[in-house]
Amino acid sequence: MERAAKTLLFLYKIVIMIDTHAHLMDQSFDSDRGRVIRDAFHAGLQTIVTIASNFSDSDSGAILSRDYPGLYYTIGLHPHEADSWHADTSRQSMKNRIKSALAVGEIGLDYFYHFSDPTIQKQVFLEQFQLAMEFNKPVVIHCREAFSDLRSLLGEWKNAPHRGVIHCFTGTIDDAEYFLNLGYFLGFGGMLTFSRSDHIRTAAGFCPLDRLLPETDCPYLSPIPLRGTRNEPAHIIHVYRALAKLKHTHHSVLCEAMRNNFNKCFSPSQPATACFPIAPDSSPLN
Ligand SMILES: [Zn+2]
């Protein structure tokens, strides 16, 4: 292989990115889901976690993950849908599906939209959190304008092996410190690029590099300069650029750190490593 081509391939290999929070089962991807995933892998992603909002998402995610190595899925009921939890059947439905899922999520509390009653949100969160503990799964937690209640709930489990991420983190530095001390990672996405998100940048700046996770939360929260368009995993490059700037670090250093964080947080069966993501070649540098 030509020296220049070898160098290019080497550079490509060390800047492999990940998207730890994508909603690929969203209906906005119905017409071109496969293309979106392939575009992401060609854009330099090796790992994507498609996050479930309900059990149907989880079942579809399981099917999709069989077609794409590096694509993982979660199981869980979003706080917006907490009212649809059935005391008799939902727990067993989750138990039947949980083993092959990467994580439990997204679960949590959302007091901004109030789509579900807060008391029910707390109950359903705890049910799912306990299942995650029982099956030794990490959790993907959504929290919007409910940090005080989330801290109280998790605080009652101080001795539990907390593993997971507070995704799309919007809390204060005090909140960040609390969740970091419990053992959580903090997820940051397109909001890092918004002009009015100084508090998010402050929190990301405060969070140690080895406790950060990058995410798109697609199809939502498209980063600048793509605001107003459907977000996709391939757009994670703008999140990486914002993080690299905040952390005064090189893109390749950030890429390696994020892969390590992903492996630590989620312990996937196939760790994210700096390897060629499409059409594997056993020794492309030789
Ligand atoms: Zn989400």
CA 245 to centroid of ligand 1, rounded, Å: 24
Tally of domains in the chain:
1
Q: Is residue 273 part of a domain?
A: no
Q: Is residue 281 part of a domain?
A: no
| Percentage of residues of the chain with pLDDT beyond 70 | 91
Q: pLDDT band for position 284 (50/70/90)?
A: very low
Q: What are the angstrom distances between the C-alpha of 7 and each of 12, 13, 237?
A: 9, 10, 21
Please report the pLDDT score of residue 159 as a whole number: 84
CA 171 to centroid of ligand 1, rounded, Å: 16
CA 5 to centroid of ligand 1, rounded, Å: 38
CA 53 to centroid of ligand 1, rounded, Å: 8
C-alpha 128/C-alpha 95 separation (Å) is: 10
C-alpha 73/C-alpha 59 separation (Å) is: 9
CA 109 to centroid of ligand 1, rounded, Å: 12
CA 233 to centroid of ligand 1, rounded, Å: 13
Q: pLDDT band for position 116 (50/70/90)?
A: confident
Q: pLDDT band for position 83 (50/70/90)?
A: confident
CA 21 to centroid of ligand 1, rounded, Å: 6
CA 248 to centroid of ligand 1, rounded, Å: 27
Q: Is residue 228 part of a domain?
A: yes
**Which residues pair with residue 110 across a beta bridge?**
144
Q: pLDDT band for position 132 (50/70/90)?
A: very high
C-alpha 146/C-alpha 122 separation (Å) is: 10
Q: What is the pTM of this model?
A: 0.90
Please report the pLDDT score of residue 283 as a whole number: 31
* 278, pLDDT greater than 60: no
| Percentage of residues of the chain with pLDDT beyond 90 | 80
Please report the pLDDT score of residue 129 as a whole number: 96
Q: Is residue 280 part of a domain?
A: no
CATH number for the domain that contains residue 212: 3.20.20.140
Q: Which residues contact 201 (CB under 8 A, 6 or more apart)?
A: 192, 242, 246
Please report the pLDDT score of residue 84 as a whole number: 87
C-alpha 39/C-alpha 86 separation (Å) is: 38
HEC secondary structure over 149-179: HHHHHHHCCCCCCCCEEECCCCCCHHHHHHH
Q: Is residue 68 part of a domain?
A: yes
Rounded to the nearest integer, the mean pLDDT of the chain is 90
**Which residues pair with residue 50 across a beta bridge?**
22, 73
Average pLDDT over residues 160-166: 94
Identify the domain containing residue 147 by its residue range.
Answer: 3-266
Please report the pLDDT score of residue 8 as a whole number: 56
* 281, pLDDT greater than 50: no
Our measurement of the distance from residue 139's CA atom to the centroid of its chain's CA atoms, rounded to an integer in Å, reads: 10
Q: Is residue 284 part of a domain?
A: no
CA 106 to centroid of ligand 1, rounded, Å: 7
CA 1 to centroid of ligand 1, rounded, Å: 42
Q: Is residue 276 part of a domain?
A: no
Helix, coil or strand: residue 30 = coil
At 192-230, the pLDDT tens digits run 999 999 999 999 999 999 999 999 999 999 999 999 999
**Which residues pair with residue 107 across a beta bridge?**
141
CA 236 to centroid of ligand 1, rounded, Å: 14
Q: pLDDT band for position 282 (50/70/90)?
A: very low
CA 229 to centroid of ligand 1, rounded, Å: 17
Beta strand 139-144 with 103-110 is parallel
C-alpha 126/C-alpha 91 separation (Å) is: 11
C-alpha 231/C-alpha 73 separation (Å) is: 18
Please report the pLDDT score of residue 81 as a whole number: 86
Helix, coil or strand: residue 207 = coil
**Which residues pair with residue 143 across a beta bridge?**
109
CA 174 to centroid of ligand 1, rounded, Å: 23
At 13-59, the pLDDT tens digits run 568 999 999 999 999 999 999 999 999 999 999 999 999 999 999 99
Q: Is residue 67 part of a domain?
A: yes
Please report the pLDDT score of residue 280 as a whole number: 36
Average pLDDT over residues 80-109: 92
CB distance 151 to 178 below 8 Å: yes
60: enclosing H helix or E strand: helix 55-67
DSSP-derived letter for residue 130 is: H
CA 282 to centroid of ligand 1, rounded, Å: 35
Please report the pLDDT score of residue 286 as a whole number: 27
* 110, pLDDT greater than 70: yes
Please report the pLDDT score of residue 32 as a whole number: 97
Average pLDDT over residues 100-110: 96
From first CA to last CA, the distance across the chain in angstroms is: 7
CA 54 to centroid of ligand 1, rounded, Å: 11
Instruction: State the DSSP string of 65-81.
Output: HHHSTTEEEEE---GGG
**Which residues pair with residue 165 across a beta bridge?**
140, 185
CA 220 to centroid of ligand 1, rounded, Å: 8
